[in-house]
Amino acid sequence: MGDIRGFMRHGRELPTRRPVPVRLRDWREVYEPFSDGHLRTQASRCMDCGVPFCNDGCPLGNIIPDWNDLVHRDRWRDAIERLHATNNFPEFTGRLCPAPCEGACVLGINSDPVTIKQVEVSIIDKAWDEGWVQPELPAQRTGRTVAVVGSGPAGLAAAQQLTRAGHDVTVFERADRLGGLLRYGIPEFKMEKRHIERRLDQMSAEGTKFRTGVEVGVDIPASELQASFDTLVLAGGATQWRDLPIPGREFDGIHQAMEYLPWANKAQEGDLDPGDTPISAAGKRVVIIGGGDTGADCLGTAHRQGAASVHQFEIMPRPPTERAAANPWPTYPMIYRTSSAHEEGGDRVYSVNTENFLGDSSGAVRALRAHEVVFADGRFAQVEGSDFELECELVLLAMGFVGPQQEGLLAQLGTETDARSNVIRDDDYRTSVDGVWVCGDMGRGQSLIVWAIAEGRACAAAVDAALMGHTALPRPIGPSARPLN
């Protein structure tokens, strides 16, 4: 621990965001650079706790006090080694994770927590800049073969771990590019896709093979993979979205978030002109239904496309600004947050329920009707006389996901699923079908990148042990691990 009074001397600081009018003119990430000096000061706030709750709060078990100390001492190369020991892709989590580690940080009991996420992303960005991130080739090849279906964070983490253990790994992805939701869900302004590319280059150099544009269960029968590979790892995500089956849902101009966001991402990849995306908010009055992070991604995208106005609806009440008594440290703080997209404009409307959509004579949505609700005894009740109508030309549904796609891959394999339609697995991530494992959102249900990476790593350890009779790969979590609460 470099500075035993660091937490008393320095307050929490984060990098500033680029001015809103400037960043709305492009799609680049929103944060200004944060100097090494500032970062080392922030790292010095870490108290190197005897019981580091940050470490428990992180599903990956990141050894946070160690790298805080190493950064404070200017030992960046050691810091990236310590970080990579528990996390294959800190450039993803350092940008995108809601940071349950910070919610669990002991300093957060009576002060602001350590800026763990900023330290994490700064370590990995410096490591890439300095050329310290190089392919890690396996010491020996095992001759065993593994097919991974899905190239999101879970599939990529599993593939990298298994390749490094010496297995011959091929990742199958139905999309035209790799990355899962990192690629086509999360917008460029939250994470520039160059971060995925250079990690994929590293993985290719290590020996992982990739096949894009192949939907297993459609383009190749699942049985073909079962016959040609020793093991199959399913990492297909939870792609079935929740719908809003209310009157008027059929009008044109009402889309799911994951029908809308991929087009903006494809435009940023250069596949089409940003002005030519089939679904665009340009010049439109937009309503986003769903107050979560996916809704915020739609909000930032709509503003960059030149929306006339944006409302974001949430049926739950506005969260408190401080932790509620029922949400104490070290659980994840369920508090009111302002993301970069919220800072850019739009109206957040809480405690509101949409009743129906109204259309014009051409069959396009022109408005929606809604009312306020109160939440009591586990139920929503309508507030009398609170009905209102809001004109809109584009409605985006961002209401979460209800599980993995059943037809095709899962139907062909005959994997058992639970009541939420997630693929059932045992304590070793094995499905009910011999030789088939599952990790990430496909088994856990809709979750977070950090959990997907942790599951990918743990599943790889289980597969390696099954193939070889032993494993040296780490197993950060079991399938039933849950956030601190």
Length of the chain: 485
110 burial via Cβ count (<10 Å: 0-12, 13-18, 19+): exposed
Q: Which amino acid, residue 102?
A: E
Among 80, 235, 288, 463, binds ligand FAD (CB under 6 A): 235
Work out whether 64 is an interface residue with ligand SF4 (CB under 6 A): yes
Shortest separation between residue 96's beta carbon and ligand FAD, angstroms: 4
Q: Which tokens sit at 435?
A: 């030789």
Among 124, 449, 463, 473, binds ligand FAD (CB under 6 A): 449
25 Cβ neighbours under 8 A, 6+ residues apart = none
Work out whether 180 is an interface residue with ligand FAD (CB under 6 A): yes
Work out whether 409 is an interface residue with ligand FAD (CB under 6 A): yes
Task: Kindly list the distances between the CA atom of residue 43 and the CA atoms of 7, 33, 72, 457, in Å, as whole numbers in the listed order.
Answer: 9, 16, 6, 27
Work out whether 484 is an interface residue with ligand SF4 (CB under 6 A): no
Among 6, 100, 103, 155, binds ligand FAD (CB under 6 A): 155
Cβ-based neighbour number of residue 17 at 10 Å: 15
153 Cβ neighbours under 8 A, 6+ residues apart = 89, 92, 180, 182, 440, 449, 452, 453, 456
Q: Are 430 and 437 in contact, with CB atoms under 8 Å apart?
A: yes
Q: Are 484 and 100 in contact, with CB atoms under 8 Å apart?
A: yes
Work out whether 467 is an interface residue with ligand FAD (CB under 6 A): no
Residues 183-212 that bind ligand FAD (CB under 6 A): 185-186
Rounded-to-integer distance, Cα 346 and Cα 208, Å = 43
163 burial via Cβ count (<10 Å: 0-12, 13-18, 19+): buried
Indicate which of ligand SF4, ligand FAD, none lies near residue 235 (CB less than 5 to 8 Å, by partner kind).
ligand FAD
Shortest separation between residue 102's beta carbon and ligand SF4, angstroms: 8
- Of 6 and 155, nearer to ligand FAD (C-beta) is 155
- Of 109 and 272, nearer to ligand SF4 (C-beta) is 109
Among 24, 39, 54, 390, binds ligand SF4 (CB under 6 A): 54
Q: Which tokens sit at 246?
A: 């209310």
- Of 102 and 441, nearer to ligand SF4 (C-beta) is 102
Q: Which of 172-180, 193-201, 331-339, 466-474 is the region at the interface with ligand FAD (rule: CB under 6 A)?
A: 172-180
Among 39, 367, 390, 452, binds ligand FAD (CB under 6 A): 452
Q: Are 471 and 175 in contact, with CB atoms under 8 Å apart?
A: no
Shortest separation between residue 261's beta carbon and ligand FAD, angstroms: 5
- Of 339 and 386, nearer to ligand FAD (C-beta) is 339
Interface residues toward ligand FAD, by CB under 6 A: 96-97, 149-155, 172-175, 180-181, 185-186, 215-217, 235-237, 257-258, 261, 293-294, 297, 408-409, 440-442, 447-450, 452
Interface residues toward ligand SF4, by CB under 6 A: 46-49, 52-54, 64-65, 68, 105-107, 114, 116
